[in-house]
Amino acid sequence: MQFLDVAGIDFCCVTVDRLGSAFNRLSHSGATLFATRRQLQTLGLIRPMRAITVSAPARLHLGFVDLNGSLGRKYGSIGLAVNQPATVLTVREAERLSASGPERERAEKALRRFADLYGEGQSFAVEVTHAIPAHAGLGSGTQLALAIGAAIRALARRSVSDQSLGEIVERGARSAIGITAFERGGFIVDGGRGTLQQPPPTVVRLDFPTDWRAILVLDPRDVGVHGEKETAAFQALPEFPEALSGHLCRLTLMRLLPGIVEHDIAAFGAALSEIQSIVGQHFSAAQGGAGWSSPAVGHIVKRLGEAGASGLGQSSWGPTGFAFVDSEAAAQRLYSSLVEEAKAVRLELRIVQGRNSGAVIGPA
């Protein structure tokens, strides 16, 4: 049985004697018949090609709680899954491995890795419909890889945890918030990297208040530090004071988290802004002496703070910045007051909310 591609349609060229009774009305064996894959599937002669669609949420990296590491664990990340942007893709069983759409090269690399591990000789094709902006501080690489891994896991009927999928493509080296955001969404704190060669454990996962909003400030022209430059930047950081790590932990446990539980945005925002200020100063040398990878983003975020927002900062290495407010109405008001100023310097404002559920995975 041989499949041919004619004008974009898969045709199957088969001989009658191989199809048996399905074509016994033909007068002689050995005749050649051309049929589309769909026709053969309808006749039950081949199994239908299956497909899985995955929608995976972006995440904000809101800071670290221990950059000192003297207790045996380092980093400890704070994060939040958000409802947009999202990576949406479909993985199909196919005759040959292929990738299409935005982030094609990264998608093909992940597809090949998971297919080699779980495909058992089967090939797959991935079509990326929407992609989280790459290297913008929104977790694009983790969500893309996990989405592809989860789709192949479903198609191959394998029982593999999301953490294991992340480890396969070397995600979670310092932070587990991307993996937990994919799995469960919500507001997340992980316990930092210890001696085990696996992603840090998630120690807090809370539902984020559904009425609160974050205003994201995006710079489509810029990208944050990533890849080998990110590794080098971490290695070049000065030693972080132990007492300051203790203060970050106290801010997180005694102000940030209670603020979420009690829906007290003033407490949450004040704690987050202080965490961001401390961490931003520590990373400033790697960002040209400033707390922002994009000064234009930093300016607009500060303007949002002057207009009433709280919890100001930059996600990961940026350039995406954020500011929080307690309602959709407040978000719309600030958006309207600053959107033209942002556009004038070619920045994008976007109103998002916390996402308290993980990726959506199902048949295409």
Q: How far apart are CA 136 and CA 223, in angstroms?
A: 5
Assess whether 41 and 58 both reside in one domain: no
pLDDT by residue (tens digit) across 6-35? 444 444 444 444 444 444 444 444 444 555
Alpha helices by DSSP H, listed for the chain, are: 16-19, 37-42, 104-118, 140-155, 162-168, 177-183, 227-236, 242-251, 257-261, 265-283, 295-306, 328-344
Counting beta carbons within 10 angstroms of the beta carbon of residue 109, is it exposed (0 to 12), middle (13 to 18) or buried (19 or more)? middle
Assess whether 129 and 230 both reside in one domain: yes
Per-residue pLDDT at 250 exceeds 80 = yes
How far from chain centre, in Å, is Cα 194?
23
Model pTM score: 0.85
Residue whose structure tokens are 């694009």: 140
Provide the pLDDT for residue 34: 52
Assess whether 166 and 221 both reside in one domain: yes
Prior bond of 319 cis (ω within 30°): yes
Provide the pLDDT for residue 15: 43
Q: Give the CATH number for residue 124.
A: 3.30.230.120
Assess whether 193 and 341 both reside in one domain: yes
Q: Please name which of 134, 327, 329, 339 lies closest in space to residue 216, comparing C-alpha atoms.
A: 339
The count of structural domains within the chain is 2
Assess whether 196 and 244 both reside in one domain: yes
Assess whether 118 and 156 both reside in one domain: yes
Note down the domain range covering 26. 2-48
- Sign of the Cα torsion 309, 87, 354, 210 reads positive
Provide the pLDDT for residue 29: 44
Q: Please name which of 131, 154, 160 lies closest in space to residue 362, comparing C-alpha atoms.
A: 154
Provide the pLDDT for residue 314: 96
Assess whether 179 and 322 both reside in one domain: yes
Assess whether 82 and 187 both reside in one domain: yes
Assess whether 12 and 153 both reside in one domain: no
Assess whether 28 and 110 both reside in one domain: no
pLDDT by residue (tens digit) across 38-95? 555 556 555 567 999 999 999 999 999 999 999 999 999 999 999 999 999 999 999 9
Assess whether 289 and 268 both reside in one domain: yes
Q: What is the per-residue DSSP string for 153-174? A: HHHTT----HHHHHHHTT--SS
Assess whether 76 and 137 both reside in one domain: yes
Under the banding of pLDDT at 50, 70 and 90, the label for residue 209 is very high
| Beta bridge mates, 77 | 64
Q: How far apart are CA 257 and CA 49, in angstroms?
A: 46
Residue whose structure tokens are 């945890």: 161
Q: Residue 293 contacts by C-beta under 8 Å, 6 or more apart in sequence? A: 222, 224, 225, 287, 314, 317, 318, 319
Q: What is the mean pLDDT of residues 321-327?
A: 98
Q: How far apart are CA 149 and CA 168, in angstroms?
A: 9
Q: What are φ and ψ of residue 264, in 5° steps?
A: -105, 90
Provide the pLDDT for residue 1: 46
